[in-house]
Amino acid sequence: MLILQLLASGIQTGVLYGLTAAGFALIFGATRVFHVAHGATFVLAGYAFVLGAQAGLPWPVSCLLALVVAIGFGLFMDAFVYRPIQRHEGAFFTVFVAAFGASLVVQNLIQFCVGRGSVSVSTPLTRASEILPGLYVAPVFWIAIGVAVALFALVTMFLDRTDAGVALRGLSENPELLRAFGLSSRRLSALAFGIGSAMTVPGAILTAATSGIEPAAGAHVVLISLAAAVVGGIGSLRGAALAGLLLGITENLIIAVLDTQWSEAAGFLVLFAFILFRPSGLFGQAVRR
């Protein structure tokens, strides 16, 4: 039953990876910004939730706090870091370095103010019960799947059905044309950053509630998002979500055959192979660059 148990925990991590990666893909697809500080958003949201809960706030308020912090940070990065750089036709690497610097700042600020170790919130929801012989599943498992699926459906519906969503997709394909139609690309990119950052919140909260969250967690999150976005085909939300799910499952299943140290490496081997042999990803169109 080890395999089933690993599969279950793989799915739980995977759906959250997928959701976070889809947020990254949404931002990259719409604004062409390689948002490496996405992991910092994740960590900030997690810490906001934990600190809120520790201060005695009821949990919906803490969740709301996490949401506000995540969206706030995303909008801040867009308005005060990426936009000034793009104003003087910044090369992509300039953006990348600036975002990397910002995530270092966030990580070390948290380390300095709260401490290096991981923090967590204990909840009865993580208490596992046996649903099949040898298979233990906690309520968190169902919550993770439910929230991830619902939020992902909501975002895809928004992108497909509403005017703003269609405009957002248009932004990725032809920003000049969009401007010619009188739409503000500035407002749309803020929208992309807002939604994309909000998509890290469920993962951050559930991570804080299960395994705990630490200041350095952002690096791992952003590496996973990036890997999922590339494997899924850059800019494709469905691809990124599916690839995130697969990465989560692989990471856990591989423990059945190899030592745990190799689980992260396995994910990156997949990434490396994809870039070499199929850079357009699972669902991507041909690479544009």
Partner 1 sequence: MTAYLLNLATLATIFGILAASLNVLIGYAGIFSVAHAVFFGVGAYAGAQVALNLVPDVLLASLAGGLLSGLLSLCLALPALRVRGEYFVAASLGLQMLAVTVFSEAHSLTGGHGGLVGIPPASLLGIDVSSPWRFLAVCVGALTLSLVSIAILMRGGFGRGLMAIRDSESAAEALGKNVPALKTIAVAIGCSLAGVAGTLFAFQLAFINVESFTLEQSVLLMAMVIIGGAGTLLGPLVGTLLLLLLPAVLSFIPFIPATEIGTVQQLVYGLAMTLLMIFRPAGLAAPSTGRR
Crossing angle (nearest 10°) for helices 2-31 and 139-161: 30
d(CA 283, CA 251) in angstroms, rounded, equals: 21
Instruction: State the nearest-atom distance from the C-beta of 232 to partner 1, in Å.
Output: 12
Options 46-54, 98-106, 182-190, 205-213: segment touching partner 1 (CB under 8 A): 98-106
Helix (H) or strand (E) holding 50: helix 38-54
Instruction: Name which position in 9, 12, 103, 200 contacts partner 1 (CB under 8 A).
Output: 103
Specify burial of residue 64 (Cβ count, 10 A radius: 0-12, 13-18, 19+): middle
Instruction: State the nearest-atom distance from the C-beta of 215 to partner 1, in Å.
Output: 9
Task: Tell which positions 15-34 bind partner 1, by CB under 8 A.
Answer: 28, 34
Instruction: Name which position in 61, 68, 223, 282 contacts partner 1 (CB under 8 A).
Output: 223
Of 180, 189, 249, which is closest to residue 17 (Cα–Cα)?
249
Kindly tell me which of 1 and 105 has the beta carbon lying closer to partner 1: 105
**Dihedral class, residue 11 (left if φ above 0, else alpha if ψ from -120 to 50, else beta):** alpha
Instruction: Name which position in 76, 100, 136, 283 contacts partner 1 (CB under 8 A).
Output: 100
Instruction: State the nearest-atom distance from the C-beta of 241 to partner 1, in Å.
Output: 18
Task: Tell which positions 31-90 bind partner 1, by CB under 8 A.
Answer: 34, 81, 84-85, 88, 90
Specify burial of residue 61 (Cβ count, 10 A radius: 0-12, 13-18, 19+): middle
Contact indicator for 21, 225 with CB cutoff of 8 Å: yes
**Sign (positive/negative) of CA torsion 156, 160, 164, 167?**
positive
Contact indicator for 92, 34 with CB cutoff of 8 Å: yes
Kindly tell me which of 79 and 128 has the beta carbon lying closer to partner 1: 79
# binding residues, partner 1 (CB under 8 A): 48
d(CA 199, CA 14) in angstroms, rounded, equals: 14
Kindly tell me which of 178 and 271 has the beta carbon lying closer to partner 1: 271
Site string for partner 1, 143-182 (x = CB under 8 A): ----------------------------------------
Task: Tell which positions 105-134 bind partner 1, by CB under 8 A.
Answer: 105, 107-109, 111-112, 116
Using CB under 8 A as the binding rule, whether residue 97 contacts partner 1 is answered as yes
Task: Tell which positions 245-284 bind partner 1, by CB under 8 A.
Answer: 259, 261-262, 264-265, 268-269, 271-272, 275-276, 279
Instruction: State the nearest-atom distance from the C-beta of 40 to partner 1, in Å.
Output: 10
Specify burial of residue 80 (Cβ count, 10 A radius: 0-12, 13-18, 19+): exposed
d(CA 110, CA 286) in angstroms, rounded, equals: 40
Using CB under 8 A as the binding rule, whether residue 243 contacts partner 1 is answered as no
Of 141, 102, 100, 111, which is closest to residue 47 (Cα–Cα)?
111
Interacting residues with partner 1 (CB under 8 A) = 28, 34, 81, 84-85, 88, 90-105, 107-109, 111-112, 116, 219, 223, 226-227, 230, 234, 259, 261-262, 264-265, 268-269, 271-272, 275-276, 279, 287, 289
